[in-house]
Structure 1
Amino acid sequence: MSTTRREVLAKSGVLGAGIAFAGSIPEVFAGTAQAQGTGGGDGYGPLVEDPDGVLDLPKGFRYKVLSREGDDLRSGEGKVPSNHDGMAAFSGGHGHGGGHRHEEHARARGRGQGHDSVWLVRNHENRMDAKIGVPTVDGLTYDPEGKGGCTVLELDGDNDVRQERVGIAGTSTNCAGGHTLWNTWLTCEETEFKAGEEGYTKDHGFIFEVPFGDRHRTVPEPLTAMGRFQHEAIAIDPGTGVVYETEDAFESPFGLFYRFLPKRPRGGFDSLRAGGRLEAMRVPGVADLSVVQETGRTFHGIEWVEVPDPLARETPIRHQDFGRKGMTHAQKLEGCYWGGRCVYFVSSFAKSDEGSAADHYGQIWRYDPEGNHLTLVVVFGPDTDLQLPGEEPDNICLAPSGGLMVCEDGEGAQHVFGLTRRGKVYPMARGRQDIGTPEEPAWGEFAGVTFSPDCRTMYVNCYTPGTTFAVTGPWRH
């Protein structure tokens, strides 16, 4: 997409006019606390240009830079690493990281209640060529040659940083993840490199558990039963403890959608190490989700097939033999979250020239475990002008007003978009840190959008240059 075109749209105020979100938007929030809210209006007005050239926000909102790559970690362990990606916020009201509540419960009960502190757990999607890797720390490092990992920030009630330290090191390409039922973070490696490849000394492509506060210390060993593949995100069914996992594979055949049935589904910190069964989803008659274009289309009788070799010792899981029927693949499986009684997952895009069966600009799918059916809920994309933004949704989170916040991962100008329950799209933030040249400006994508447990602050990362923001203002609830 033309950067010049995108900049003209942004400056003219037309930005966002052609975004289309087809489908039953309220269905995305059915059964959640947000669905009981007022709907939050149609946004917060146009973006106001930041005189400091960092972050444009609507009138009445303000930002605070919490952390930048290259600065010193307050722990003294080294520099703030590069490539800020997935993130989650937890209540630190008890001082040891035990106060986190799931998003929908937090929004139902946390309005108007402050917290002594908030913990942010932040991924760093660092590969071997990362500008600044996560510092290796004794007792927290999995593979000393890995540059990825997580950092942990503790914030006070004014969003001032009390501490910032390494949560886990020696991993690779930590993209997204998700929170557990017992208030820890599962960080996901989006890679499949094995020991001896690219300079690594251990196999990669795993999920790791990262606690925060002072109650637990990270165990830098992978949760191997949850599979070795190009992980993206997870979401956990609070009723059963089943963990759903997305795979963002970079080449055809693309990723699968998984579920992990743990032996100890609600056992607490480190309980997932007890193992369980990993299964992949098969939609009868559908080999590639990209061919489904009609919102509301529902598939019944979903099959879950046990993964032959979760460790992918010889063959990547998506290439393994699941039987003559084959499996159901999808390109760019990204965000994953639990809402009400269903799990939702995002396919950022599909491109036939890259190997998908059909093209689309982004989808949200809903799987209902009780009814065992899968529904295409939302389709993203430009309405009439293909030069307009709105494609490639990446990280998403539920917003205080009863909608979604979506990190757009496309070309040109980069935004956080809001989506109301009525289907209205509005710009919430625009990155202004130019990482290009005067002739060809460029901006780093947003990632890791999440809200504080009291719904008063939106936290979001700029991937490059690695920057973590706290955004406050007149949020509607």
Structure 2
Amino acid sequence: MDRRRFITNVIAVAGPFAGVACAGAQGGVKPVQGGYGRLRPVPDLRDGKVRLHLPEGFRYRSFSAAGEKFSDGSAVPGRHDGMAAFSGPKDSAILIRNHEVNGPVGAFGDKAKAYDPMAGGGTSTLRVTRYGEVIQSGPSLNGTMMNCSGGPMAWRAWVSCEETVNGPDVADDFSGGDNSKLTRKHGYIFEVPVNRAATARPIRSAGRFPHESVAFDPSTGALYMTEDNFSFPSGFYRYLPPKHPVQAGRLLDGGRLQMLAVKGAKRKDLSVGQRPAATYETVWVDIEDPDPTFTGRPAYDDAVQAVGRQGREAGAAVFSRLEGAVFHQGVVYFVSTQGGATAAGDTPPSGFGKGRGQVWAYETWSGRLRLAYESPRSAVLDLPDNVTASRRGTLVLCEDGDGDNYLRGLTKSGQIFDFCRLEPIPDDPGAEFAGSTFGPGGHTLYVNVQAKQGRSFAIWGPWERGLF
């Protein structure tokens, strides 16, 4: 990068970054400033049923629910998760959507094209209008497993992440599935192009661990990746491809995998409560064996830590359940779902980490890590998961909490507000928001609800009235 472009980028990120980094001091005490007002039940334009609560003036339509048909006649799989929107012809959006299906349940779509014909996860690609009307849809990657989130790439591709290390070489995981039925190793990232078929080739040098999300830095070509290890510490990684992906036109294997460490503080535990706007200088440590070979079918709990343990032994920082990540103006914002201190009156969640959520901000150009926000209690922000950014820089956080689940906005000045509440589903208390992404031009916010019968939503309205 030349000096003029570098200075321009620094100026662009300094103001917004500094504002968000102060958010921890706000504590979410006044969660209304910058929002859109009181939420009210709104009927789905699809069938009139109330599924979402939104501010006045906003409307929505659901589409592509689990069990319905793609354009090719095959069935839409369930567990809709991470998603990205790309511009399509005639003001349409092209959505690439993950399906977080676990276990050897068989691939959806054409099994002849599957990475592993026994695995039921993958992605679907849909072309939709700004109002959630499906024009065309179909499978785009199949035979993968536990495709949780991922990230949009500047060369018009989606990178999908497997949140597991299942495979025939690993003992059965917590779900009770029989790993011996699988034909391939899992735990990788996969590229899914917008305009051509996915190759279903894993990027093995980017690691075999429970990947969650990917954020791409176009200035360097680096991919920043989060790890969601429910019962154990998680790490923040970056993958340095052998060639800049924009120049190559695709993501190449054979690069270098690294893990973030706090400078001068080996194995710094950042999963616990932090002071407001806590700031750390960082370094990166190399992962010597990103794709370890297992012998004797080790226990899943051992296999799932094999890569992360290498990083921590070299001094990498400890986080709790890193999930959503997004790149915006030189900063990677990423979510620690159970990071932070346990607030008085809140029940600590199960798994590693006892807080109700943190949002971290990593400056790619300076290597500085700052706490953007830490939830003071579950009523303000409860277990944030996927994240995206609006054109104004406000973050959209998808909750995965124990009670009502919201889409919440986090502004650059550190204010948090409610934008959307999921109508409770009587027989599905685990339903949650996932995969929020703004469509071309910012007219529509697309989002998924992961449920027993997952579905996607298109939401539109008077965005100019607030800070999205």
TM-score by length of 1: 0.79
Matches within 5 A, 1:174-193: 174-193=147-166
Deviations 1:175-221 (A, max 9, x none): 000011201000000001122552211000000011123xx211011
The aligned counterpart of 2:440 is 453
Match of 2:455 among 467, 471, 475: 467
Match of 1:200 among 163, 166, 182: 182
1: CA distance between counterparts of 2:189 and 2:450?
21
CA contact (8 A) 1:282 1:327 kept: yes
The aligned counterpart of 2:42 is 50
1:346 matched to 2:341? The reply is no
1: CA distance between counterparts of 2:440 and 2:361?
25
1: CA distance between counterparts of 2:108 and 2:17?
42
- Runs of 5+ unmatched residues, structure 1: 1-23, 31-39, 94-114
The aligned counterpart of 1:67 is 64
Q: Identify if the C-alpha distance between structure 1 residues 138 and 407 changes in structure 2 by more than 3 Å, giving closer, same or farther.
A: same
Amino acid at match of 1:299: Y
Higher RCO, 1 or 2 (CA under 8 Å, sep at least 6)?
1
Matches within 5 A, 1:39-438: 42-50=34-42, 52-76=49-73, 78-93=74-89, 115-128=90-103, 135-137=108-110, 140-195=113-168, 197=170, 198=179, 199-213=181-195, 216-252=196-232, 254-267=233-246, 271-283=250-262, 284-285=264-265, 286-291=267-272, 293-300=274-281, 302-314=282-294, 316-318=305-307, 320-322=309-311, 326-350=315-339, 356=352, 359-382=354-377, 388-432=379-423, 434-436=425-427
Deviations 1:58-108 (A, max 9, x none): 1111111121111111221x2111000000000013xxxxxxxxxxxxxxx
Q: Cα distance, 1:234 vs. partner? A: 0.7
2: CA distance between counterparts of 1:353 and 1:61?
33
2: CA distance between counterparts of 1:346 and 1:305?
21
2: CA distance between counterparts of 1:228 and 1:178?
17
- The secondary structure found in structure 2 opposite 1:311 is coil
- Runs of 5+ unmatched residues, structure 2: 1-15, 23-31, 44-48, 171-178, 295-302, 343-347
CA contact (8 A) 1:344 1:364 kept: yes
- The secondary structure found in structure 1 opposite 2:271 is helix
CA contact (8 A) 1:264 1:274 kept: no
Amino acid at match of 2:328: G
2: CA distance between counterparts of 1:165 and 1:303?
42
1: CA distance between counterparts of 2:159 and 2:192?
6
Amino acid at match of 1:184: A
Amino acid at match of 1:416: L
Q: Identify if the C-alpha distance between structure 1 residues 128 and 87 changes in structure 2 by more than 3 Å, giving closer, same or farther.
A: same
Amino acid at match of 1:128: G
2: CA distance between counterparts of 1:373 and 1:320?
23
TM-score by length of 2: 0.81
Deviations 1:224-259 (A, max 9, x none): 11111000001111101011111111222x111111
CA contact (8 A) 1:179 1:186 kept: yes
CA contact (8 A) 2:149 2:213 kept: yes
1: CA distance between counterparts of 2:103 and 2:312?
36
Q: Identify if the C-alpha distance between structure 1 residues 341 and 291 changes in structure 2 by more than 3 Å, giving closer, same or farther.
A: same
1: CA distance between counterparts of 2:459 and 2:310?
47
- The secondary structure found in structure 2 opposite 1:54 is strand
Q: Cα distance, 1:359 vs. partner? A: 3.8
- The secondary structure found in structure 1 opposite 2:376 is strand
Matched positions, count: 408
2: CA distance between counterparts of 1:304 and 1:116?
42
Deviations 1:122-147 (A, max 9, x none): 000001277xx751315531000000
Q: Identify if the C-alpha distance between structure 1 residues 291 and 411 changes in structure 2 by more than 3 Å, giving closer, same or farther.
A: closer
CA contact (8 A) 1:209 1:270 kept: no
1: CA distance between counterparts of 2:274 and 2:68?
46
Amino acid at match of 2:371: L
Q: Identify if the C-alpha distance between structure 1 residues 353 and 48 changes in structure 2 by more than 3 Å, giving closer, same or farther.
A: closer
Q: Identify if the C-alpha distance between structure 1 residues 403 and 322 changes in structure 2 by more than 3 Å, giving closer, same or farther.
A: closer
Q: Cα distance, 1:353 vs. partner? A: 8.2
Amino acid at match of 1:276: G
CA contact (8 A) 2:204 2:253 kept: no
Larger CA deviation: 260-269 vs 162-171: 260-269
Q: Identify if the C-alpha distance between structure 1 residues 427 and 139 changes in structure 2 by more than 3 Å, giving closer, same or farther.
A: same
